[in-house]
Chains A and B, each alone.
Chain A
Amino acid sequence: AQSVSQHNHHVILSEAASLELGCNYSYGGTVNLFWYVQYPGQHLQLLLKYFSGDPLVKGIKGFEAEFIKSKFSFNLRKPSVQWSDTAEYFCAVTSNTNAGKSTFGDGTTLTVKP
């Protein structure tokens, strides 16, 4: 069975600080990787995804993530956070062989102080 681990449950940063949120997964086959964001009072939105190709993927709002296969990791990064990035961030994994259902991490709450 696949699983996803997000190591940071709550991260607090000041504006302009750099961000890195960890995500590790366990699954032996080919995976598709996602980061979703949930702003306060809003629904889940796709931030970025990795299917294949360049392991460094860029998403919306200046976010990027790097797939490191050897480390089973897909960490999310942003060079300079803004107050508006305050949200909950979820890492998720699917594979093409398990009906595409997503396995999610428990989420990381990011609070950016103005």
Chain B
Amino acid sequence: GAGVSQSPSNKVTEKGKDVELRCDPISGHTALYWYRQSLGQGLEFLIYFQGNSAPDKSGLPSDRFSAERTGGSVSTLTIQRTQQEDSAVYLCASSQRLAGAPDTQYFGPGTRLTVL
């Protein structure tokens, strides 16, 4: 079946502009995660959705970052007034997230964001 997809694959923007990154999770997966991978570093957790609600937003680095999920499926990560330090690969993952059970996350190909 289809995996997690993300768009765009690459985004170049100017400092101060807003950007939207999209994630389409695997069909039927209730949980959706956003991570950020900066150059030479591991993945940094940003936000987690269970259905359409976000019980954990603890990783969002500032109030310029927001995310939403609609219909329990597609999610959009929005970065307002982008800064150069926002340049990174933004990864989305989804999982079945059955209550109390261990879970495997499946990752999309990522969106490479470059802020000039």
- Interface of A toward B, CB cutoff 8 Å: 4, 6, 32, 34, 36, 42-46, 49, 51-52, 90, 92, 94, 96, 98-107
Interface size in chain B (residues, C-beta < 8 A): 29
B18-76 residues at the A interface, CB under 8 angstroms = 31, 33, 35, 40-45, 48, 50, 55-56, 59
A100 touching B108 in the complex, CB below 8 Å, given contacts A106-B42, A107-B42: no
**What secondary structure prevails in chain A residues at the interface with B?**
loop
Tell me the bound Cα distance from A51 to B33 in angstroms.
Answer: 20
The answer to whether B56 touches A101 (Cβ under 8 A) is yes
- Interface of B toward A, CB cutoff 8 Å: 31, 33, 35, 40-45, 48, 50, 55-56, 59, 91, 93, 95, 97, 100-110
Tell me the bound Cα distance from A32 to B103 in angstroms.
Answer: 8
The answer to whether B43 touches A99 (Cβ under 8 A) is no
Residues of A within 8 Å of B91, CB to CB, are: 43-44
The answer to whether A99 touches B104 (Cβ under 8 A) is no
Residues of A within 8 Å of B108, CB to CB, are: 43
Tell me the bound Cα distance from A105 to B48 in angstroms.
Answer: 19
Residues of A within 8 Å of B105, CB to CB, are: 94, 100, 102
Tell me the bound Cα distance from A68 to B42 in angstroms.
Answer: 23
Tell me the bound Cα distance from A23 to B106 in angstroms.
Answer: 21
Residues of A within 8 Å of B50, CB to CB, are: 99
Q: List 8 A-B contacts (CB under 8 A).
A: A34-B104, A43-B108, A46-B104, A94-B102, A96-B101, A98-B56, A102-B43, A106-B40
